[in-house]
């Protein structure tokens, strides 16, 4: 297709559908009433890493609608706020990048972020460090998270 946005919908007679839609922003979905059907890929599936730029100051509220994987270059200490657009089953990684010559930290963490043993969210206080927060959303207001610290810059 070329030109204006197009919708693609493939249907079969057993209540299964593949729907790639532009107008309602669906992009890709698979619906079935048959529990044995699955989606299989023979090549890698790749999502982009959404760049939040420099931290916006006192608080960062990640918008999960921007993508599963995100990054932010820190420019100040910040509160890890309630993330927006939480959808159960979504998972991904958030990269926190310490600039050279700075050691920023998380000053507080919203209750939606849940950690093993109940505590974590401490960033590596080293110039140029990269920490990775991996998450999966169990339900609205329940984001399970683990932190991998001091990854290579």
pLDDT digits (tens, 9 = 90+) for 54-97: 876 789 999 999 999 999 999 999 999 999 999 999 999 999 99
Which residues of the chain are modeled with pLDDT < 50? Answer: none
> How far is residue 46 CA from its own chain's centroid?
13
| Nearest in space to 85 (alpha carbons), one of 24, 17, 143, 151 | 143
Full-model pTM:
0.78
pLDDT for 131 equals 95
| Contact between residue 106 and residue 83 where contact means Cβ atoms under 8 Å apart | no
Handedness of CA 53, 56, 59, 64 (dihedral sign): negative
pLDDT for 24 equals 59
pLDDT for 14 equals 55
């Amino acid at each position: 297709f070329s030109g204006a946005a197009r919708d693609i919908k493939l249907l079969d007679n057993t209540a299964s559908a593949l729907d790639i839609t532009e107008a309602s922003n669906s992009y890709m979905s698979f619906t079935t009433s048959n529990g044995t059907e699955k989606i299989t890929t023979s090549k890698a599936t790749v999502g982009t890493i959404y760049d939040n730029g420099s931290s916006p100051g006192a608080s960062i509220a990640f918008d999960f609608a921007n993508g599963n994987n995100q990054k932010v270059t820190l420019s100040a200490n910040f509160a890890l706020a309630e993330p927006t657009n939480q959808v159960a089953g979504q998972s991904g990684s958030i990269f926190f990048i310490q600039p050279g010559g700075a050691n920023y930290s998380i000053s507080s963490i919203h209750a939606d972020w849940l950690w093993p043993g109940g505590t974590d969210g401490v960033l590596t206080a080293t110039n140029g460090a990269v920490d990775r927060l991996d998450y999966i959303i169990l339900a609205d207001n329940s984001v399970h998270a683990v932190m991998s610290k001091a990854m290579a810059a």
